[in-house]
Amino acid sequence: MADRGCDCDRSDQPPAAPDLRLKSVVELAQDMSAALTPLEAVRAAAARATVALGASMAAVSVWDRESGRLRVLVNHGALAPGEEELPEDESYPVADFPEIVTYLEERWTTGRLPRAWVQTAEDSEPHAGHSHPTAGAYCQERAAALRRRGRACCVVAPIVLHGQAWGELYLARSAGMPEFTEADADYATLLAAQISAGLAQIERLADLRKLAFSDPLTGLANRRAVDARLESALEAHNRDDTVVSLVVCDVNGLKRVNDQLGHEMGDRLLERFAHQLSLAAARLPGSLAARLGGDEFCLLVEGQKADEVVAVAEELCARALALAEGEGVACGVASTGDSIGPVTTADRLFRLADAAQYRAKAARSAHPVVAGRSHGPGFAPDPTVLLADAADPHQRADTRGRNGRAGAADRRRFRGAAHSADPGQLLTAVLAALDRHGEARSVHPADTIGKLVVVAETSARLLDAVGWWVSYVPPGSPLMRTTQHAVYRMTSGPSSSRAETQRAQIEAPDAVFDLRHYPLTRGAVRGGAFALRAGAAGNDPAEEAVLVVSGYRGMLAAGGQNPAGGWLIELFADDATLPLGQVTSALRALVSVALAGPSSAPPA
C-alpha cells in the first residue's frame, strides 16, 4: 500500500505521553460521533490518529470485497506526489496484502483483535506475526514504497468490524523522524479498535435513519421523509418558482385481497405496486417514491413540468391495473405548474392531491384526476380546488399549524359527531355518504339528483337543519323548479297556525322560481354559494321573503352546473340549527363533487 501524509506542524513532535494518548483516544471517539457522514468520520479518525502517534500522515482504507481490492478512502497529512486527500480511485489488490489473511486467522483462532505491525524503509524482512508464504516479498515492496516517498517507517493496524476484516489504519513518519516502536504498534491497535467502534456506531445510526425515513415493507420512503423533502421543495418553489408536483395513489381492492386471500397476498400486492411506483420515479429525475401508510402511496416530484408528471401518472395507473389480484389505483395529482392558486405550505398541496385522489376514487376512474384541470363543461372554479380549500376549517387557501408549519394531523379531512358545523366534519360525513351511494349497485353513475340528495340530506342532519330542497334549472332557462325536499321538524313563523306553516313548507318545493328576481340564487346556480339569516341588515327582499313565508330563520344555498343543467341545494334553519355560514365553502365544494362525472336531468 502506498505511503500517505499528515499535520506537518506536529511532525517533529515526540510520541504523546500515556495520559495524552488516552485523551487522544477519547477525542477520536468524540470526533467520529460528531460526524454527519461515514466519510466525515473516517477523515476525523485519520486526523486524530496522525496527531496521536506523531505521524506525518495517515490513511484509512476499506476492503472492497466485490472487487477484491483495498480501496483508500482518505489520506491525511503530508502527502507525497500523486497522493490525494480524497482519492477517487486509489486501490490495491488484496492479494498484495497477505496480512489480511493473518488478521482473519488471528481473529478466529485466538479470539483476540489482530495486532498492528511496524515496517521500516530499511527492513525488508517480515515481522514476527507474518506467517504467510508471500510476506517476505510483500515487505520488500512496502519498504521500497516507503523509500520512494521519503518516509522512514509505517505502522499498519487492521480495522475489524463485526468479526471481519474491514480495512486498515496506516500511519507513516517522514525520513529523519524516529521509527515507530512496539509500544506505538500497540497504541495503533487501540486506535484501530476505536475506529471500529465508531464505524459500528455510524452503522447503527444509519440503520436508525433508514428505519425512521423508510417503509419496512416496500423499502420506499415513508411519510416522515416526504414531509422533510416537501418542505425543502416548497422553499425552492417559493424562492425560484421551481415546479413541485405531488401524486397520491390509493391501491384499490386491498381489503378484498386481505379478506379473501390473506394479508400475505395483500402485502405482495403492495410490494408489486411499490415496484411500479419506483419505476415511475426513475422516469422523473428529482422525485421521491413513498408509502404514506396502509394502501396509500405518493410520488413527490421537483423540477419537472406538470404535463410530464401527469403522463407518468397515466402510465402508472395503467400498470397498476395489470397487477395480479389488483384493481388498479385511484390517483390524484396536484402541481404548482397548474392553475391551483398559490401554494406556500405542504398542507395545501397535500389537500389538493388528496381531493383529486378522492374524486378519482369516487368516480372509479382508471385515469388520474388532476387538480386545476376541470373535466367537462361548467366547472368554474375547479371542483378539486374547491374541495381541497373547503377542507380548511378556517376557509383559507393556505393554513399553517404551530410555529408556522403545516400540521400533519390537518393534512387529510376527507376520510363524524352527530351534529357539527366544522367544515372538516361535513366533508368527512358527506363524502363517506357519497361513497356508499356510489357503491350501491342499483344507482346509475349518471344519477345527478341522487348524488345531490345525498349531499343535502347528510349536510342537513349534521347541521341539525330544519330541512332541505334540491332544485333544477334546465339549460338556457331562467326558471328553477324544486324537485326533491325533506322536512325534519316544524318551525314557528308569521302564519296563524302550525298547519299553515307545515303546508307552506311542503308545498313550496312545487313552486317554480324565476331566477331573474332572485340575484343571490341565480349566482349560486352558476357555481356560487351564500348564507342568509332572517332580519339581517342588507338582505335581498326577494330572497328573505322565501324565509319569511315558510317560517325559516336562516338558509344556506350552494349550486353549480353540469351538462344536464343548473342545480341548487338549499338548507333551512331555525334557532336550533348550527351556524350555517361556517360551512358555506364546504357545501359549495361538495356540490361541485356531486356534479362531476356523468350527469342526467331529473325525471319530468
In a domain, 410, yes or no: no
Domain shared by 105 and 243, yes or no: no
At residue 11, the pLDDT reads 41
Other CB atoms within a 10 A radius of the CB of residue 437 amount to 18
Domain shared by 493 and 350, yes or no: no
Last residue of one domain, picked from the residues 152, 176, 210 = 210
At residue 381, the pLDDT reads 66
At residue 113, the pLDDT reads 61
- Is the pLDDT confidence value at 108 over 80? no
User: CA-to-CA distance for 161 and 436, rounded, in angstroms?
Assistant: 58
User: CA-to-CA distance for 45 and 171, rounded, in angstroms?
Assistant: 12
Number of domains in the chain: 3
- The stretch 79-83 carries a mean pLDDT of 87
User: CA-to-CA distance for 92 and 96, rounded, in angstroms?
Assistant: 7
Query: What percent of the chain lies above the pLDDT cut of 90?
Result: 35
**Dihedral angle at the C-alpha atoms of 574, 576, 577, 579, nearest 10 degrees?**
110
Chain segment 536-578, per-residue pLDDT in tens: 888 888 888 877 777 788 999 999 999 999 999 999 998 888 8
Under 8 Å between Cβ of 485 and 470: yes
Cell representation of residue 423: 367544515
Domain shared by 196 and 233, yes or no: no
In a domain, 324, yes or no: yes
Most confident of 94-103, 295-304, 396-405: 295-304
Last residue of one domain, picked from the residues 210, 231, 248 = 210
Domain that holds residue 331: 223-405
Cell representation of residue 560: 353549480
Domain shared by 374 and 444, yes or no: no
Confidence of residue 441 (pLDDT cuts 50, 70, 90): low
- Is the pLDDT confidence value at 128 over 80? no
Last residue of one domain, picked from the residues 210, 238, 268 = 210
CATH of the domain at 376: 3.30.70.270
In a domain, 146, yes or no: yes
Domain shared by 338 and 457, yes or no: no
User: CA-to-CA distance for 383 and 366, rounded, in angstroms?
Assistant: 19
In a domain, 418, yes or no: no
At residue 379, the pLDDT reads 52
| Helical H segments across 363-447, by residue range | 383-390, 423-439
In a domain, 497, yes or no: yes
Domain shared by 204 and 150, yes or no: yes
State the SS3 of 524-539.
Answer: HHCCCEEEEECCCCCC
Measured CA to CA in angstroms, residue 584 lies from 163, 284, 302, 348, 580 at distances of: 67, 39, 34, 19, 7
- The stretch 284-307 carries a mean pLDDT of 92
CATH of the domain at 61: 3.30.450.40
Q: How far is CA 386 from the centre of its chain?
A: 23
Domain shared by 203 and 270, yes or no: no
Under 8 Å between Cβ of 585 and 389: yes
Chain segment 538-548, per-residue pLDDT in tens: 888 888 887 77
**Dihedral angle at the C-alpha atoms of 504, 506, 512, 516, nearest 10 degrees?**
60
In a domain, 509, yes or no: yes
- Is the pLDDT confidence value at 595 over 60? yes
Mean pLDDT of the chain: 80
Whose CA is closest to 452, among 598, 592, 597?
A: 592
Domain shared by 454 and 360, yes or no: no
In a domain, 415, yes or no: no
User: CA-to-CA distance for 406 and 411, rounded, in angstroms?
Assistant: 8
Measured CA to CA in angstroms, residue 117 lies from 75, 168, 391 at distances of: 19, 11, 70
Domain shared by 366 and 476, yes or no: no
Least confident segment among 59-68, 306-315, 329-338: 59-68
At residue 505, the pLDDT reads 42
Residue with the three cell numbers 361556517: 582
User: CA-to-CA distance for 452 and 580, rounded, in angstroms?
Assistant: 18
Query: What percent of the chain lies above the pLDDT cut of 70?
Result: 80
Chain segment 445-467, per-residue pLDDT in tens: 788 999 999 999 999 988 989 88
Whose CA is closest to 143, among 344, 326, 3, 17?
A: 3
Domain shared by 250 and 324, yes or no: yes
Domain shared by 35 and 171, yes or no: yes
Whose CA is closest to 389, among 417, 363, 424?
A: 424
Domain shared by 227 and 204, yes or no: no
Largest CA distance in the chain: 121
In a domain, 234, yes or no: yes
